[in-house]
């Protein structure tokens, strides 16, 4: 063993090791209560401030939170001494191009080791180095930015790295006595136990009226708001009236497939008659009922085809005692994805004029189906365009008007349908707004000029074919700093001229005509 290799090895624990590693030294460091508040954080909420104010002692707060605190408690949250609103001093921090706080004179970035001061008369914040060299040493008692006179007593210390115990969080008065403002969410939660539970308005209404006739009616009608409930109620009334007419009529009646309640309700929603709501077969009606039980209303114009898989009824009947025993397997009917071969056409009526839109239903079927369905059910009516950027685009389709709301007709985001044939290449392009890949909802935007950087990131599903002068009007509307129009640009309503999804397919029309011809020939024979 070498002489120097292990010269520091000891068969005992040294004094230094006891002080730094053993004898509870590490746990003692972990138990230390010292936590210093950063200079850019509010001393009341401990989060970065937006509108800073301070006291003569240099305690910085966000004005949004300190004002209610003073009104309620009338004291300084840090020291516990009396404090009035008139004692607050508005601060003016300066930032560089990277968004970091800096001294406006020396252009040095503020860190946790910077001595930071503020001038009471103006509220401007500087590094102490600048004030010391340019004011104190030269006896120049004029503020460095505004030339406003001040005294030595007007210098307020915001942060002093030599006084580490000046902003220890555990020593703050509001931390010791746990004095805080009542949280608005806590108030709402106390008033309404379901406040923080994500539920639809229909579910909340049923929970409020649980056990009453109104609650049962809301569950029976299926929710969806008063408009949807009225439509379904009208469908039920139409169904009952049709059944009553059949009972009252004399003479032999031609047998027809049973009319499903689900089909009748869906027919009413999609503007079809009760007669057209009759399912083509008992299997397809059962498939629609099963889909409705899973929470999905299948429109009548949806084509149902046999899949390669069975319905699973035999397996369920064999392995579970809660299902009816079934000994035969039938193929499951599923929705066939409908890809129209025609374009869709709508007219958008706004407060600044009309826009005629052509929709590429043959290229973007899901996106266009989502947009057309929202147009027909009045989802976009009386909504505003919440974002308007000159020489770029105008965006709308959010019922909240904030840019963070809106959903698709399926209740969840759907995938992008980008295509090399449809690019953001010209003025008047209609495209879907999203927050990332495959996050489309209900928001859309119309381009004022080409935007190739959006290609293959947003789904182009239409274009303006009439009313470009309306775009010129909306482009000139002034906006605020967040690009929100100062003058409301509102969608009054959207008229649908051509909807390929509700029009019958040519194939179905020909099949129906051929079946009617065959029936007529059979009757003649």
As a residue count, the chain comes to: 525
Nearest alpha carbon to residue 260 among 284, 227, 296: 284
239 is catalytic: no
* pLDDT of res. 277: 46
- Cβ–Cβ < 8 Å for 144, 131: yes
Query: The domain 52-176 is classified under which CATH number: 3.90.230.10, 3.30.40.10, 3.40.50.80, 3.90.1150.10?
Result: 3.30.40.10
Q: Which of 134, 169, 181, 454 is catalytic?
A: 454
Annotation says 159 is catalytic? no
- Options 126, 445, 447, 461, the catalytic residue: 445
Tokens of 486: 């100062």
Q: Where are the alpha helices (H) located in 63-143, listed in sequence order?
A: 63-73, 128-131
Question: How would DSSP label each residue in 184-197?
Answer: HHHHHHHH-TTTTS
Nearest to 69 by CA among 118, 55, 120: 55
Question: Is 445 among the catalytic positions?
Answer: yes
Question: What pLDDT, on the 0 to 100 scale, is given for residue 328?
Answer: 83
Residue 414 among the catalytic residues:
no
pLDDT at 496: 92
Known active-site residue 387: yes
Please confirm, yes or no, whether 392 is among the known catalytic residues. yes
Q: Hey, what CATH topology would domain 344-498 get?
A: Cyclophilin (2.40.100)
Is 300 labeled as catalytic in the residue annotation? no
Residue 458 structure tokens: 């947003």
Out of 383, 395, 440, 499, the active site residue is 395
C-alpha distance across the termini of the chain, in Å: 117
- Tokens 């004692």 correspond to what residue? 87
Nearest Cα neighbor of 419 from 449, 462, 384 is: 462
- Annotated catalytic residue within 392, 423, 427, 455: 392
What span, in angstroms and rounded, lies between the C-alpha atoms of 282 and 292?
15
Give me the pLDDT at residue 318, please.
Answer: 82
Query: Residue ranges of the domains in the chain?
Result: 52-176, 228-236+258-335, 344-498
Options 387, 422, 430, 444, the catalytic residue: 387
User: The pTM is what?
Assistant: 0.41
- pLDDT on residue 429: 95
pLDDT value of position 309: 75
Picking from 213, 219, 306, 300, the residue whose alpha carbon sits closest to that of residue 261 is 300
Tens of each residue's pLDDT in the chain, 525 residues: 455 555 666 777 787 777 777 766 666 555 555 567 899 999 998 899 999 999 999 999 999 889 989 988 899 999 999 999 999 999 999 998 888 999 999 999 999 999 999 999 999 999 999 999 999 999 999 999 989 999 999 999 999 988 877 788 878 888 888 887 665 555 665 666 666 666 666 666 666 777 677 766 666 665 555 666 676 677 767 767 776 776 666 545 444 444 444 444 444 444 444 444 444 455 555 555 555 444 454 554 455 666 777 778 888 878 887 777 888 887 776 665 567 888 999 999 999 999 999 999 989 999 999 999 999 999 999 999 999 999 999 999 999 988 888 999 988 999 999 998 899 999 999 999 998 899 999 999 999 999 999 999 999 999 999 988 999 999 999 999 989 999 999 999 999 999 888 776 655 666 677 777 777 776 666
CA distance 71 to 68: 5
Annotated catalytic residue: which of 458, 461, 471, 499? 458
- Choice among 356, 377, 419, 434 that is catalytic: 434
pLDDT recorded at residue 36: 78
């Amino acid at each position: 063993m070498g002489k120097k290799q292990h010269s520091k090895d000891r068969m005992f624990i040294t004094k230094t090791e006891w002080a730094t590693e053993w004898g509870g030294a590490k746990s003692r460091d972990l138990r230390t209560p010292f936590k210093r508040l950063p200079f850019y954080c509010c001393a009341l909420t401990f989060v970065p401030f937006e509108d800073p104010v301070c006291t003569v002692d240099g305690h910085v707060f966000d004005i949004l939170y300190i004002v209610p605190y003073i009104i309620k408690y009338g004291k300084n949250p840090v020291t516990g001494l009396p404090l009035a609103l008139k004692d607050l001093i508005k601060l003016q921090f300066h930032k560089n191009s990277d968004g970091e706080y800096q001294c406006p004179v020396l252009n040095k970035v503020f860190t946790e080791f910077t001595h930071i001061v503020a001038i009471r008369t103006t509220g401007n914040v500087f590094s102490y180095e600048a004030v010391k060299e340019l004011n104190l040493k030269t006896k120049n008692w004029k503020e460095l930015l505004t030339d406003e006179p001040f005294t030595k007593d007007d210098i307020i210390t915001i942060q002093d790295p030599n006084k580490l115990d000046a902003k220890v969080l555990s020593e703050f008065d509001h931390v010791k006595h746990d004095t805080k403002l009542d949280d608005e969410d806590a108030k709402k939660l106390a008033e309404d136990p379901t406040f923080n539970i994500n539920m639809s308005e229909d579910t909340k209404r049923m929970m409020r009226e649980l056990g009453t006739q109104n609650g049962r009616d809301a569950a029976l009608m299926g929710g969806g708001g008063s408009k949807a409930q009225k439509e379904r109620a009208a469908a039920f009334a139409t169904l009952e009236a049709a059944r009553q007419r059949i009972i009252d009529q004399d003479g032999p009646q031609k047998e027809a497939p049973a009319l499903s309640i689900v089909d009748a309700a869906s027919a009413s929603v999609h503007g079809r008659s009760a007669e057209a709501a009759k399912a083509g077969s008992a299997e397809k009606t059962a498939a629609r009922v099963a889909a409705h039980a899973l929470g999905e209303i299948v429109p009548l114009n949806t084509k149902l085809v046999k899949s390669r898989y069975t319905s699973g009824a035999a397996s369920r009947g064999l392995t579970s005692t809660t299902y009816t025993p079934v000994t035969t397997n039938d193929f499951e009917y599923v929705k066939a994805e409908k890809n129209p071969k025609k374009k869709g056409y709508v007219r958008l009526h706004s407060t600044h004029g009309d826009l005629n839109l052509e929709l590429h239903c043959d290229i973007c079927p899901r996106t266009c189906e989502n947009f057309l369905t929202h147009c027909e059910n009045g989802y976009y009516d009386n909504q505003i365009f919440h974002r308007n950027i000159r020489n770029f685009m105008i965006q709308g389709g959010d019922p909240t008007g904030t840019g963070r709301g809106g959903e698709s007709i399926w209740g969840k985001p759907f995938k992008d349908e980008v295509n090399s044939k449809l690019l953001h290449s010209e003025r008047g392009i209609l495209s879907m707004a999203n927050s990332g890949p495959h996050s489309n909802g209900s928001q859309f935007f119309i381009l004022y000029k080409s935007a190739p950087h959006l290609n293959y990131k947003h789904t182009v599903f239409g274009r303006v074919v009439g009313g470009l002068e309306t775009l010129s009007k909306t482009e000139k509307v002034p906006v605020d700093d967040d690009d929100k129009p100062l003058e409301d640009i509102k969608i009054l309503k959207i008229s649908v001229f051509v909807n390929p999804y509700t029009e019958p397919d040519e194939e179905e029309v020909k099949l129906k005509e051929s079946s009617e011809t065959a029936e007529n020939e059979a009757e003649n024979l």
